[in-house]
Amino acid sequence: MDKIQELYHRKSFQQKRSYHQWHYGENNQSRLAQTATFELQSFGPSIIRIKSLATNYYLVMKKNGLFTGDKRAGTLQSLFRETHQYNAFNSYASVKYFHKYHYDMYIGIKHNGKMKRAMKTHRVQSATQFVVIKV
């Protein structure tokens, strides 16, 4: 089942999608109204794909831990495992690189609003924790 939702970072940064790149750290609510809404598409228990409704791009993790947007929906790189934390936050780890490395590679945002490289993330870091709000 597809759910249209907004993702908020734990440190009050809101995730937004603009053109072909993923941009983060925007706090201006009027500018975010049309670009911060995402569709979380379910592919099984806790397996999702994140799609921007403004641009129709999917969030994709590359092998080196960098993030980009992609129009193709069928790639394994666009699937993430959603983990519900004990503190009511959610974390998203790559499905493709979960078994390849000894640790998960999470979606994370630095304090300055830029994407954190996935190889330097861990699920207990505040950079990888998000609040999901249904629209």
Compute the average pLDDT of residues 87-116: 80
Q: Can you give the length of the chain in residues?
A: 135
Would residue 5 count as lying in a domain? no
Would residue 19 count as lying in a domain? no
Distance CA 32, CA 26 (A): 7
What is the maximum alpha-carbon separation in the chain? Answer: 41
Q: Residue 5 — very low, low, confident or very high, per pLDDT cuts 50/70/90?
A: confident
* Residue 38 one-letter amino acid: F
Would residue 3 count as lying in a domain? no
Q: Residue 100 — very low, low, confident or very high, per pLDDT cuts 50/70/90?
A: low
pLDDT > 80? residue 3: no
Contact 74, 93 (CB under 8 A): no
Would residue 4 count as lying in a domain? no
Compute the average pLDDT of residues 51-74: 87
- Containing domain of residue 110, as a range? 26-134
Would residue 16 count as lying in a domain? no
Would residue 54 count as lying in a domain? yes
pLDDT > 60? residue 25: no
pLDDT of residue 60: 92
Would residue 17 count as lying in a domain? no
SS3 32: helix
Identify which of 55, 52, 64, 66 has the alpha carbon closest to the alpha carbon of residue 115. 66
Its pTM stands at: 0.76
**CATH code for the domain in which residue 126 is found:** 2.80.10.50
Would residue 112 count as lying in a domain? yes
pLDDT of residue 1: 52
pLDDT of residue 103: 62
- Number of domains, the chain: 1
